[in-house]
Homo-oligomer: A and B are copies of this chain.
Amino acid sequence: MVGIDEVARAAGVSTATVSRALSGRGRVSAATRMRVEQAADRLGYVVQASASSLASGRTRSIGVLLPLLDPWFFSTVLGGIADALARHGYDITLYVLSNDAGARNAMFGTFLRRQRVDAVIAVSIDLTEAESAALAGLGVPVVRIGGAHRHMTSLAIDDEAVGVLATSHLLRLGHRVIAHIGALPEFDSDFRVPSQRRRGYERALTSAAILPQAELHAASDFTIAGGAAAATRLLEAPGERPTAIFAASDEMAVGAILTAREWGLRVPEDLSVVGVDGHELGAFFRLTSIDQFPREQGVRAAETVLELLEPDPTTHVPPPHTVLPFELVVRGSTAPPPPAPPGQDPLAWQ
A binding-site residues for B, Cβ under 8 Å: 1, 44, 46-51, 53-54, 59-61, 64, 68-70, 72, 74-76, 78-79, 82-83, 86-87, 89, 91-96, 98, 103, 106-107, 109-111, 113-116, 139, 223-225, 228, 261, 280-281, 283-284
Tell me how many chains of this kind the complex includes.
2
* 8 other A-B residue contacts (CB within 8 Å) besides A1-B115, A223-B280: A46-B110, A47-B114, A69-B82, A82-B96, A83-B98, A87-B103, A224-B284, A225-B280
Q: Of all chain B residues, which has the CB nearest A48?
A: B115
CA distance in complex: A292, B340 (Å) = 50
CB-based nearest B residue for A284: B225
Decide yes or no: A114 and B284 within 8 Å by CB, A82-B94, A86-B107 being known contacts: no
- Cβ–Cβ < 8 Å partners of A59 in chain B: 50
Can you list 28 A-B contacts (CB < 8 A)? A46-B110, A46-B113, A48-B54, A48-B114, A49-B53, A49-B114, A49-B115, A49-B116, A50-B116, A54-B54, A61-B116, A64-B94, A68-B79, A69-B76, A69-B78, A70-B75, A75-B75, A86-B111, A87-B103, A89-B110, A91-B93, A91-B114, A92-B93, A93-B93, A223-B281, A224-B281, A225-B281, A228-B284
Chain B minimum-CB-distance residue to A107: B86
Beta-carbon contact of B54 and A51 below 8 Å: yes
Which B-chain residue is minimally distant from A225 (CB atoms)? B284
In the complex, what distance in Å separates the CA atom of A111 from the CA atom of B44? 13
Beyond A75-B75, A79-B69, whether A115 also contacts B50 by CB under 8 A is yes
Q: B94 to A94, Cβ gap below 8 A?
A: yes
Chain B residues, Cβ within 8 Å of A223: 280-281
- A33: min CB distance to chain B, Å: 18
Asked if residues B61 and A93 are in contact (CB atoms below 8 Å), the reply is yes
CB nearest to A63 among chain B residues: B91
Which of A74, A92, A107 gathers the greatest number of chain B CB atoms within 10 Å?
Answer: A92
